[in-house]
Amino acid sequence: MTLENISNTKVFGGWLKQFNHQSTSTQCKMRFAVYLPPQAEVHKVPVLYWLSGLTCTDENVMQKSGIQRVAAELGIAIVAPDTSPRGDNVADDEHGAYDFGIGAGFYLNATQAPFDNHYKMYDYVVDELPALIEANFPVTSQKSISGHSMGGHGAITIGLKNPQAYQSISAFSPICNPMNCPWGQKAFVGYLGDNQQDWLEYDSSELMKVTQGNTPMLVDQGSEDNFLAEQLKPQSLIDAAQSRQYPLTLRMQQGYDHSYFFISSFIEEHLKFHAKYLIKS
């Protein structure tokens, strides 16, 4: 598969790179960013996949979180895909809403026309992108997954559905129970249809109840997040984890909101959490 390198920036001794490629999953051109720490020039390194939230792209975490400094210290590569397929032929919300369509792929495989033509973000993140990264960059097959908001939803659902694939899972302000919040319900009806049995496959709290894995999970939530009560519903994830003694640590961080100021305040702790499982002594 041909990769088009569109940018290279040196940061903390490593390299932040952006690439375009033609995706077989989404049937359109996709962009991703990869940060290769300085250790990658000597040996292969493990990978943390970061999934961003509504309206975001691959650039948000790389430009706003300060993630490269810690990744360089620990020797972990960071890979950030886009949040949805894009292009002139990709279906979008007819009213241009921010919470559905382009920029809002919800990391699922759409089954409803016209979105089923391109919106296969689950397949892209779980299968296509890791194979691409491992074939073209100095990384090992050891990987973990993290994300923010819609991306936190994606990280948790993907991690729970694929317990053998990821060493650890974390999230900031994830949408924990999308079946029961406006963002999730709008996305699920549009992408998956009206049958709520199909929604269960992409709901973190419901998946927590049935997962066969015990992948360590860290979740941070800001107490002053404007979306906390209506959209995010972390208590549903806590209750599901307690029902089967899942190894979840969910921390309510007092005074923090939904922004990248919150993420940048705790990203170091998240990377060190993942390093415990990605880097074996």
Catalytic residue positions, numbered: 149, 225, 258
Residue 41: count of CB within 10 angstroms of its CB? 12
Cα distances from 66 to residues 17, 50, 242, in angstroms, run 15, 13, 33
Name beta bridge partners: 34.
17, 79
DSSP letters along 210-238, please?
A: H-S----EEEEEETT-TTIIIII-HHHHH
7, with CB counted inside 10 A (0-12, 13-18, 19+), is exposed
Here the contacts of 19-23 (C-beta below 8 Å, separation 24 or greater) are 21/132, 23/85, 23/124, 23/128
- Do residues 150 and 158 lie in contact, with contact meaning Cβ atoms separated by under 8 Å? no
The residue type at 201: E
